Chains A and B, each alone.
Chain A
Amino acid sequence: MSQTAIMAGAAPETGTGTAVEPRGPRPKPFFTPRKIIIYSVLILFSFYFLFPLYVMIATSFKTMPEIRFGNIFALPQQINFDAWVRAWTSVCTGLTCEGLSPGFWNSVKITIPSTIVSIFIAAVNGYALVNWRFKGSEIFFAILIFGSFIPYQVFLYPLVMITRELRIFGTLQAVILVHTIFGMPILTLLFRNYFASLPQELFKAARVDGAGFWRIFFEIMLPMSLPIFVVALILQVTGIWNDFLFGVVFAGTQNYPMTVQLNNIVNSAQGSPEYNVNMAATVLTGLVPLIIYFVSGKLFVRGVAAGAVKG
């Protein structure tokens, strides 16, 4: 016993060869080879991804003569908002020349109802699949998930015929319907897995208390599901806002979403390309998903942290 104690006391000197005896928190030097490698790789990659964004924003503030000068990487000589104003109000998007603003409102009109309807239905689906198992519910779920493995393009023509028969082809309702349908597999999976992770006993307790299907859904399950709703919201808003295919096929010319109009601007064959306007229009179109990400990203973290406290 006494021998081991002496050994332990002597270890620091013989072990490290320095006079400093280790005590308290272990020192964490900032410049270690490991950290230098990690940070340089991270900086390199963020540069790689952010550089195109820089070119886009810088170009959008330049005038056309300045762009023709050829210094694509240079900062603009002075901040000039003309291209932004033109992109929003007066650039030609196909037949009309009213800028991107009508497209923006069309996208809003498509995104908001599609997001709300698809998330609501998927949440009910997931809840029913976990808590109200019915005969064949597993098969139903398997079929639903199978849908997410088939490429969209396969469904395109049948869906055109279906919406035509429903007499909604070329209207906002048609795009909303299509987005809701295609959001269903992944969102249902998301909600099903989330509800399955909630304690089953909560559901049982609510049933003993006499609550029914909707009451348990709205009063017990929904208040506990903020994190997963934020995830679904990010997924749907970004997905639907960035959609091009369904918009161009089902919405009809007067309802073209922003992405379709952006395409019409950028791919316009008439006149000389206005690079500054193209860049401004592109940034404007991408702004909504970006804002959603920055705003709800924070909410998301908070939601997860709040959800971690089990009742």
Chain B
Amino acid sequence: MQHSVSIRDLSLNFGSVKVLETLNLDIEQGEFIVLLGPSGCGKSTLLNCIAGLLDVSAGQIFIGGKNVTWMEPKDRGIGMVFQSYALYPQMTVERNLSFGLRVSGMKKDEIERRVARAAEILQIEPLLGRKPANLSGGQRQRVAIGRALVRDVDVFLFDEPLSNLDAKLRSDLRVEIKRLHQRLKNTMIYVTHDQIEALTLADRIAIMKNGVIQQLADPHTIYNKPVNLYVAGFIGSPSMNFIEGTLDGSSFTAEDGTVIPVATYDFADKAKATGKAVLGVRPEHILLGDDAAKMPYSLEVEIEIVEPMGSDTLAWTTIAGRPVTFRAASDVHLEAGQKLVVGFDPARGSFFSSETTNRL
């Protein structure tokens, strides 16, 4: 099957600084890919390379089977949406949408047809006569998406499109982007530093660090089976609990001497599962009460801090000498100083080698 977008051995240097290093990425037709990472990890740079706004230092980029490495942005069959909307301030919404089409010398009735269709999809018909200064943030971003839409392209590029919006608008527009993808079935490449956006929108997430893709997988795998400590710590809020210790095949001994059985854990290579390691457990995988007693590992702890979040409650305690958080349903009454039994199944956690930080 032909890939919608293929990146082969892509490198980009700014002087002596290596921003991207021999990066490979294949994106399927109609796939929603999210590039996720902290600022400065090269995710926006990668997007700009795909768009043709930056010249690559080495490697190739294919879009729709065509080698576009040396092509101008307009010839690549892409549409792009920017964080700051980048609407032309002196033009009306209608002129903003049609600018690219007018530049390409398209016939007037075809331009009108496409603008009308985009406006209908995004429900911005009443705004067509307005200037960007008279639009709200959400409306502006909708127009910016519309500008990509009218170009009738195969690949949509989003560069942190929701980062300038407030929390409520962000979640509204997030759903709209998902709906748009389901309706149009275009390939979409979406850059963000917001893991909620990544987990909710993506078919597959590429987690990046220092110009290198750490893990490329569907959200479920990324969340439950992170390939290394970095991915494990980056994804999830509140973040994963880490306990350092030593593995010896059948059990895990934490630094303070606590022994945790690991018989249920599915090691990639059991022979290598020895030596210094880190156990990662997500807060929601630590259970309490009757459920805790059934777990392969359980103990009594004292709650130190309680953070009610509305939908659930987050509690802080200490396990094996490490601060650990766990989640409880909001109807369970918890308070600081309370003692209770918690437990978890190491099989739902993750072991990482202390040496390589990779998953065991």
Contact = CB atoms under 8 A, between A and B. Distances in A.
A309 B131 CA distance: 11
Contacts of A309: 89, 133
Contact of B147 (A199, A209, A220, A224): A209
B79 interface: yes
Contacts of B86: 199, 201-202, 204-205
Interface in B134-169: 147, 151, 159
B103 A210 contact: yes
Contacts of A215: 103
A232 to B, nearest CB: 19
A208 B84 contact: no
| Majority DSSP secondary structure for residues of A touching B | helix
A199 B89 CA distance: 11
A35 interface: no
A209 B132 contact: no
Interface string B76-107: 00111011111111100000000110011000
A90 to B, nearest CB: 50
A204 B82 contact: yes
B7 interface: no
B88 A220 contact: yes
B227 to A, nearest CB: 33
A207 B82 contact: no
A208 B73 contact: yes
Nearest to B140: A311
A311 B87 contact: yes
A205 B83 CA distance: 11
B270 interface: no
Nearest to A309: B133
A71 B86 CA distance: 65
B103 A205 contact: no
Interface in A223-239: 223-224
Nearest to B78: A208
B51 interface: yes
A271 B147 CA distance: 75
A195 to B, nearest CB: 14
Given A199-B84, A311-B132, A209 B90 contact: no
B178 interface: no
A205 B89 contact: no
B82 A310 contact: no
Interface string B271-298: 0000000000000000000000000000
Interface string A286-311: 00000000000000000000000111
Interface band, chain B: 20 to 34
Contact of B104 (A201, A204, A207, A210): A210
Nearest to A226: B90
A194 to B, nearest CB: 15
B53 interface: yes
Interface residues of A, number: 19
Contacts of B51: 204, 208
A202 B86 CA distance: 5
Interface string B210-252: 0000000000000000000000000000000000000000000
B74 A205 contact: no
B92 to A, nearest CB: 11
A205 B147 contact: yes
A207 B132 CA distance: 19
Interface in A74-105: none
Contacts of A204: 48, 51, 53, 80, 82, 86
Interface in B28-78: 48, 51-53, 72-74, 78
Most-contacted residue by chain A among B78, B89, B103, B131 (CB, 10 A)? B89
B99 A209 contact: yes
Contacts of A211: 99-100, 103
Interface string A200-222: 01101111111100010001100
A311 B88 contact: yes
B88 A208 contact: no
A134 to B, nearest CB: 12
Contacts of A209: 74, 99-100, 103, 147, 151
Nearest to B80: A208
A310 B131 CA distance: 11
Contacts of A210: 72-74, 100, 103-104
Given A210-B100, A210-B104, A211-B103, A205 B82 contact: yes
A309 B140 CA distance: 14
A309 B134 CA distance: 10
A170 B78 CA distance: 56
Nearest to A310: B89
Contacts of B74: 207-210
Interface string A39-57: 0000000000000000000
A208 B79 contact: yes
> Which 9 pairs across A and B sit closest by C-beta, in order of nearness?
A311-B89, A210-B74, A209-B100, A201-B86, A205-B86, A223-B90, A201-B82, A311-B132, A210-B103
Given A205-B82, A210-B74, 6 more contacts: A201-B84, A201-B86, A208-B73, A208-B74, A311-B89, A311-B132
25 contacts: A201-B84, A201-B85, A202-B86, A202-B88, A205-B82, A205-B147, A207-B53, A207-B72, A207-B73, A208-B51, A208-B53, A208-B78, A208-B79, A209-B74, A209-B100, A210-B104, A211-B100, A219-B88, A220-B88, A223-B90, A309-B89, A311-B88, A311-B89, A311-B131, A311-B132
